[in-house]
Structure 1
Amino acid sequence: MTAALLVIDMQRGFDDLDYWGPTANPACEDNVAALVAGWDGRGPIVVVRHDSVDPTSPLRPGSDGNALVEAVGAASADLLITKSVNSAFYGDPDLHAWLGERGIREVVLCGIQTNMCVETTARMAGNLGYDVTVVLDATRTFDLTADIAGVGTVTRTAAELMATTALVLQEGGFARVATTSALLADVYRT
């Protein structure tokens, strides 16, 4: 079966830790680069870029932070999708239609942020009937703190958020969770 590798929001703006806060998994970019390099013949590579509508975001169009990281430049992409929301399925061009035209029913996800755009895209893909794998060590996210009505102040570290996302996606039946090395070993076997 042909699978599409979805590389989500691997953009320079996520290196701005003054804006985003503490992060986890410094090996994310290297693991994404390994997936892109090792994807030969497995299927298409879809690169997704977040074009933020927030004028203060480092991901806004026209800013240096909107650019893709060197390891996943648009040159490696069979398709470039731009979006301004969490799910790659609400981008331009239409990902679901593009995959359907090619008969692709399996997607492998990596990128940033684990618990935001990667998780939302994985949930939608699962609901749309795709066979979904999230390569957890090829994702990363940032600490979150919020005051939530009826709950109070809630704080989660990036590592806790990554673990929670993996748990919810796998046990919720949305996706299987894999590591870069295991997935690449499987790619080379097929």
Structure 2
Amino acid sequence: MDIAQNAALVVIDVQKGFDDPVHWGPRDNPAAEENIAALIDAWQSTGRPVVFVRHDSPKPNSPLRPGQEGNDLKDVVASRRGKGSGPEVLITKTVNSAFYGTPDLKEWLDAVAHGDAAEGQGRQLVVTGIQTNLCCETTARMGGNLGYEVFFALDATHTFDLEGPEGWKLTAQELARATAVSLHGGGFAKVVTTEELVAAASS
């Protein structure tokens, strides 16, 4: 796996509000935050671009709404902001995709991270964060549609059990697996591990 020097790490919604088990229910992958930290460290130590994303929920009952502690980035991420020698940005959003936020992610990537890279060349994204099957998956799908080569760090994401129509329920682990199959099998992204990404970025 080749990771370009200008490959951007997109760290999605690693916020304190997701630590509320009453609101969200059971989660998967307790190692997610550790792996997210390892990716940030690898990107910052090699001068690669890092995008931090924060969800400012407009829902009145959301733990992620602005003006409360749950909206803040978790310490594992907040303590690392600004520590790299490469370009960094904070994007805020109110929907699932990080491409619909402020400032505009695509404009920032094209101008700052990828510069004059030709369409489809040297335009890589690595997606990590919370939740696997929602904001992370949506951002990865849009990135693939926009022509970026997307790497999805599945073990550096996590999600929660969820209930859909007809009372259908899927566990967090089942949802994560479905995301991996959809993204990888559908050609939107390459599903990879943190270990693989750190090794590639360090080589």
Q: TM-score scaled to structure 2, two decimals?
A: 0.88
Provide the residue aligned with 2:65 in structure 1: 60
2:140 pairs with 1:122:
yes
The percentage of aligned residue pairs carrying the same residue is: 55
Write out per-residue CA displacement over residues 114-142 of structure 1, whole angstroms, 9 at most, x where no aligned residue.
00000000000000000000100000000
Q: Aligned-pair distance for 1:102? A: 2.8
CA distance in 1, matches of 2:124, 2:201: 13
CA distance in 2, matches of 1:128, 1:16: 34
Residues 47 and 74 in structure 1, CA contact (< 8 A), matched pair in contact too: no
Q: Aligned-pair distance for 1:42? A: 5.0
The amino acid of 1:49's aligned partner reads R
2:160 pairs with 1:145:
no
The amino acid of 2:160's aligned partner reads F
Q: Extract structure 1 runs of 4+ deviating beyond 6 A.
A: none
| Greater CA drift, 71-80 or 131-140 | 71-80
CA distance in 2, matches of 1:31, 1:101: 28
2:109 pairs with 1:99:
yes
The amino acid of 1:102's aligned partner reads V
Residues 32 and 138 in structure 1, CA contact (< 8 A), matched pair in contact too: yes
The amino acid of 2:68's aligned partner reads S
Q: Aligned-pair distance for 1:103? A: 5.5
CA distance in 2, matches of 1:65, 1:83: 15
Write out per-residue CA displacement over residues 145-181 of structure 1, whole angstroms, 9 at most, x where no aligned residue.
12x2xxx221100000000000000011000011111
The amino acid of 2:67's aligned partner reads G
CA distance in 1, matches of 2:139, 2:32: 18
Q: Aligned-pair distance for 1:41? A: 2.1
Provide the residue aligned with 1:28 in structure 2: 32
Structure 1 residue ranges without an equivalent (≥5): none
1:159 corresponds to which of 173, 187, 196: 173
Provide the residue aligned with 1:136 in structure 2: 154
Q: Aligned-pair distance for 1:24? A: 0.2
- Change beyond 3 A, Cα 1:74–1:62: farther
Structure 2 residue ranges without an equivalent (≥5): 83-87, 115-122
Q: Name the SS for the 1:48 alignment partner.
A: strand
Provide the residue aligned with 2:127 in structure 1: 109
CA distance in 1, matches of 2:179, 2:64: 23
The amino acid of 2:100's aligned partner reads Y
Provide the residue aligned with 1:72 in structure 2: 77
The amino acid of 1:83's aligned partner reads K
Q: Aligned-pair distance for 1:75? A: 5.3
Q: Aligned-pair distance for 1:43? A: 1.6
Q: Give RMSD over aligned pairs.
A: 1.2
Q: Name the SS for the 2:9 alignment partner.
A: strand
Provide the residue aligned with 1:50 in structure 2: 55
CA distance in 2, matches of 1:141, 1:80: 22
1:18 corresponds to which of 17, 22, 28: 22
